[in-house]
C-alpha cells in the first residue's frame, strides 16, 4: 500500500529541447500558413478591371459655334385668325402657364436660361447680357403683362432681344404669362392698359396669317429675280482692320464663294445693314457664315456692312 502511494519519479527533460527552439518552430509554421493562404487567395480572387471611362470631347464647343438646326417648312396657305378677347387672355390659367413654359424653353431659354435668370449659353456673349427675368429691377419697360406681350411682339430696341411676332397671339400671351410668373410683385394691368394693347395690335379684330413657302422656294425665286444683277468683284486690297477682324470671326472657312454668290444675287444689302443681317442669319451656313454671326452686336454689324461694301464693290467701281 505504501508503494502504491509513493509519488512517481519525475522523468528527466531532454536537454536538447529548449524554449527558444519551440518559438522558432512555431514561427516557421506560421509563415508557411500565411504564404499558403496568400497563394490560395490570389488564385481564388477575381481581379476586377475598372471600365474604361467614356472618352471626353476633345475640344470645347463654345455657344456661338453651336449649329442652329434650321428646318425647312412646307408650303401652307394663310388663313384668318380668330379675334382675341384681351381681357380673358390677360387672366392666367394652368394651360397658359404650361404652354408658356414650353414656348419659353423653345424660344427664350438659350439666352435667358432655363429658369429665366439670364444665364443661357447663347447669352454669355451678348452685350448687354440678357435680362434676369426673376428680378424686377432695371427693366427698360414696365413689368405688366401687357408690356411683356409688347416686348415679345416687337423686341427691345438697343438690346439683342428680337421680335417674336411670328408666334400666334395666344402663344405670345402664354409666353408673357410664364415670364410674369417668374417674379411675383409685378405691376398689374388696368382696363386702360389692356385697351391700349388691344388697339395697338388690333387683337380683338383678329389677324391674317400670311401664306408660307419653303425657304428653298423663296431662295429660288430670289435668284431668278436677281439673275440680271451686275456681278461683284473682290477687291485686292482693303484697309479696314476692324472690319477684317469681324469678317474672319464670322465667315466660314471655305465659305467665301457662297458669300460672294449671295451678295451678288441680292444686292439690297448694300443700302441697308438690316437687310444684310436678314440675308446672313436666315441660313448662315448656306450664306457662307458661321452660326455665330447671329450673335453680332449692332456695332459689329455696322462694321461688317462697311467692310463688305469695300471688299465687294460693284464691277464698274
- Comparing CA positions, the residue from 217, 197, 213, 214 lying closest to residue 205 is 197
Q: How far is CA 308 from the centre of its chain?
A: 29
CB 286 within 8 A of CB 263: no
Instruction: Enter the C-alpha cell of residue 49.
Output: 478591371
Per-residue pLDDT of 79-133, as tens digits, reads 777 899 999 999 989 999 999 999 999 999 999 999 999 999 988 888 888 999 9
Q: How confident is the model at residue 171 (pLDDT cuts 50, 70, 90)?
A: very high
Which residues lie across from 251 on neighbouring strands? Answer: 289
Would you call 97 helix, strand, or coil by DSSP? helix
Domains of the chain plus CATH, in order, are 80-208 (1.10.760.10), 215-311 (no CATH)
Indicate whether 234 pLDDT > 60.
yes
Q: Which residues contact 139 (CB under 8 A, 6 or more apart)?
A: 131
Query: What average pLDDT score do residues 139-167 get?
Result: 90
CB 75 within 8 A of CB 84: no
Instruction: Enter the C-alpha cell of residue 275.
Output: 437687310
- Comparing CA positions, the residue from 146, 210, 144, 194 lying closest to residue 172 is 146
How many CB atoms sit inside 10 A of residue 39's CB? 10
**Residue 81 host element (H or E):** strand 80-81
CB 273 within 8 A of CB 301: yes
Instruction: Enter the C-alpha cell of residue 127.
Output: 452685350
| Interatomic CA distance for residues 259 and 256, integer angstroms | 5
Q: Which residues contact 305 (CB under 8 A, 6 or more apart)?
A: 269, 273, 276
Query: What average pLDDT score do residues 236-258 get?
Result: 86
Place of cell 427691345: 156
Rg of the chain's alpha carbons, rounded to an integer? 39
Per-residue pLDDT of 29-88, as tens digits, reads 656 555 555 545 444 444 444 444 444 433 344 444 444 444 556 677 777 778 999 999
| Interatomic CA distance for residues 215 and 217, integer angstroms | 5
Q: ∠42-47-49 over CA atoms, to 5°?
A: 160
Amino acid at each position: 500500500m505504501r508503494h502504491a502511494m509513493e509519488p512517481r519519479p519525475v522523468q528527466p527533460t531532454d536537454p536538447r529541447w529548449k524554449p527558444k527552439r519551440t518559438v522558432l518552430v512555431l514561427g516557421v509554421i506560421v509563415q508557411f500558413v500565411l504564404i499558403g493562404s496568400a497563394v490560395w487567395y490570389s488564385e481564388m480572387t477575381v481581379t476586377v478591371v475598372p471600365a474604361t471611362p467614356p472618352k471626353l470631347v476633345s475640344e470645347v464647343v463654345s455657344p456661338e459655334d453651336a449649329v442652329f438646326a434650321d428646318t425647312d417648312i412646307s408650303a401652307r396657305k394663310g388663313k384668318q385668325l380668330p379675334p382675341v378677347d384681351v381681357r380673358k387672355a390677360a387672366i392666367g390659367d394652368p394651360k397658359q402657364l404650361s404652354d408658356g413654359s414650353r414656348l419659353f424653353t423653345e424660344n427664350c431659354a438659350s439666352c435667358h436660361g432655363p429658369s429665366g435668370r439670364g444665364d443661357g449659353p447663347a447669352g454669355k456673349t451678348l452685350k448687354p447680357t440678357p435680362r434676369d427675368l426673376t428680378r424686377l429691377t432695371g427693366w427698360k419697360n414696365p413689368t405688366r403683362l401687357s408690356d411683356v406681350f409688347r416686348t415679345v411682339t416687337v423686341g427691345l430696341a438697343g438690346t439683342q432681344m428680337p421680335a417674336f411676332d411670328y408666334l400666334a397671339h395666344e402663344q405670345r400671351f402664354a409666353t408673357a404669362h410664364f415670364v410674369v410668373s417668374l417674379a411675383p410683385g409685378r405691376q398689374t394691368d388696368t382696363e386702360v392698359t389692356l385697351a391700349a394693347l388691344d388697339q395697338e395690335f388690333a387683337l380683338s379684330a383678329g389677324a391674317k396669317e400670311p401664306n408660307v413657302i419653303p425657304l428653298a422656294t423663296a431662295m429660288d425665286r430670289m435668284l431668278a429675280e436677281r439673275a440680271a444683277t451686275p456681278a461683284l468683284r473682290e477687291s485686292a486690297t482693303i484697309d479696314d482692320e476692324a472690319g477684317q477682324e469681324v469678317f474672319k470671326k464670322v465667315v466660314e472657312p471655305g465659305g467665301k464663294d457662297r458669300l460672294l454668290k449671295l451678295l451678288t444675287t441680292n444686292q439690297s444689302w448694300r443700302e441697308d445693314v438690316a437687310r444684310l443681317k436678314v440675308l446672313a442669319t436666315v441660313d448662315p451656313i448656306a450664306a457662307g457664315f458661321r452660326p455665330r454671326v447671329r450673335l453680332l452686336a449692332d456695332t459689329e454689324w455696322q462694321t461688317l456692312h462697311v467692310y463688305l461694301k469695300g471688299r465687294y464693290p460693284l464691277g464698274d467701281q
